[in-house]
């Protein structure tokens, strides 16, 4: 353990052999509890970076560590388990499964991670109560209680359900890939406030990527991907 929540070292990644290098990172790390904002234009490799952190893609070279475990050195099932146990994801849009209730969507990670399941169960009132508490905190208590379907929610509301899902079972890392790009400015700010408040409580590291650097208020550190990425192939450099 080196005390980092996430760490990338000497990482080089291309999607296919022969394809241009998308990421070439010498050293990049985030401390536990740190709020990190990474920005870069579209196509610069932000989502690719998150795929590496998720263990969905493996770098051709280098080390990708989540809470001290090198994803490239563990077998596939363990990588999936690390993702389930340690990372809460929020995507740009369409985060939810339409055939599950709001609570079921929030509890989804608990189906695959016994660790998060146990933590959610340990919350006062158990996992269901914890899911409802998070939804209520996101301003969706009534919607959840009324049994509203995913399709009946606005995009902003859906993103807040996704945030509750990322937070359930207190994973040490929250990764958000442009989660507010479909929201208006007021909703963006409100969303970030809620996310920070909850992540602050659980002590989670927040890694937030966006092409829109105006959102950087409230973060501990702001990083331009172009500054740390030495890959010449990334298209976003020119933009």
Partner 1 sequence: MRGAPILGLAVKSLLNRRATVGLTLLALAVSVMLVLGVEKLRTEAKASFAATISGTDLIVGARSGSVQLLLYAVFRIGNATNNISWQSYQEIAARPDVAWTVPLSLGDSHRGFRVLGTTGDYFRHYRYARKKSLAFSVGGPFTDLFDAVLGAEVARALGYKLGDPLVVAHGLGAQGFSNHKDKPFRVAGILARTGTPVDRTVHVSLQAIEAIHVDWKSGAPVPGMRVTADQVRRMDLTPRAITAVLVGAKSRFAAFSLQRAINEYRAEPLLAVLPGVALQELWDLMGTAEAALAAISVAVVAAGLLGMMIMMLAGLNERRREMAILRSVGARPLHLFALLVSEAAVLTTAGAAAGLGLFYAALAAFRPVLDSRFGLFLEISAPTAHDLAILGAVVLAGVLAGAVPALGAYRQSLADGMTVKL
Ligand X SMILES: Nc1ncnc2c1ncn2[C@@H]1O[C@H](COP(=O)(O)OP(=O)(O)O)[C@@H](O)[C@H]1O
Interacting residues toward ligand X by CB under 6 A: 15, 22, 40, 42-48, 235
Could you say whether residue 81 binds partner 1 (CB under 8 A)?
A: yes
Could you say whether residue 181 binds Mg ion (CB under 5 A)?
A: no
Asked if 191 contacts 93 with a C-beta cutoff of 8 angstroms, the reply is no
Could you say whether residue 213 binds partner 1 (CB under 8 A)?
A: no
Burial 26-64 (b: 16+ CB within 10 A, else e): eebebeeebbbbbbbbebbbbbbbbbbbbbebebeebeb
List residues bridging with 223 in a β-sheet. 38
- Binders of Mg ion among residues 40 to 79 (CB under 5 A) are 47
Would you tell me how many other CB atoms lie within 10 Å of the CB of residue 211? 17
| Site track 93-112 with partner 1 (rule: CB under 8 A), x = hit | xxxxxxxx---x--xxxxxx
Q: Enter the tokens of residue 117.
A: 């399941």
Could you say whether residue 57 binds partner 1 (CB under 8 A)?
A: yes
Among the residue ranges 3-11, 74-82, 133-141, 223-231, the one whose residues contact partner 1 (CB under 8 A):
74-82
Alpha carbons 67 and 78: distance in angstroms, whole number: 13
Task: Name the DSSP letter for residue 179.
Answer: T
Binder of residue 132, out of ligand X, Mg ion, partner 1, none (CB less than 5 to 8 A by kind): none
Tell me how many residues contact partner 1 (CB under 8 A): 33
Give min distance, CB of 156 to partner 1, in A. Answer: 18
Q: Enter the tokens of residue 138.
A: 């996101």
Give min distance, CB of 19 to Mg ion, in A. Answer: 17
Alpha carbons 96 and 100: distance in angstroms, whole number: 8
Q: Contact positions toward partner 1, by CB under 8 A?
A: 47, 50-51, 54, 56-57, 76-77, 80-81, 83-85, 89, 91, 93-100, 104, 107-113, 117, 165
């Amino acid at each position: 353990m080196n005390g980092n929540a996430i760490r990338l070292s000497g990482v080089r990644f291309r999607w296919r052999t022969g394809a241009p290098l998308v990421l070439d990172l010498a050293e990049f790390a985030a401390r536990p509890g740190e709020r990190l904002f990474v920005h870069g234009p579209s196509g610069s490799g932000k989502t690719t970076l998150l795929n590496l952190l998720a263990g969905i893609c493996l770098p051709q070279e280098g080390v990708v560590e989540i809470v001290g475990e090198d994803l490239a050195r563990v077998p596939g099932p363990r990588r999936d388990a690390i993702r389930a146990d340690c990372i809460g994801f929020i995507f740009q849009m369409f985060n939810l499964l339409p055939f599950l209730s709001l609570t079921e969507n929030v509890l989804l990670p608990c189906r695959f991670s016994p660790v998060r399941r146990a933590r959610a169960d340990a919350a006062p009132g158990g996992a269901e109560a914890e899911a409802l508490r998070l939804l209520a905190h996101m301003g969706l208590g009534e919607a959840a209680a009324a049994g509203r379907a995913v399709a009946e929610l606005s995009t902003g509301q859906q993103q807040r359900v996704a945030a509750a899902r990322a937070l359930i079972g207190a994973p040490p890392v929250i990764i958000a890939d442009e989660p507010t790009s479909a929201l208006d400015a007021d909703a963006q700010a409100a969303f970030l406030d809620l996310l920070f408040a909850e992540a602050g409580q659980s002590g989670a590291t927040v890694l937030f990527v966006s092409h829109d650097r105006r959102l950087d208020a409230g973060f501990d550190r702001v990083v331009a991907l172009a500054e740390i990425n030495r890959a010449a192939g990334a298209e976003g450099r020119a933009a």
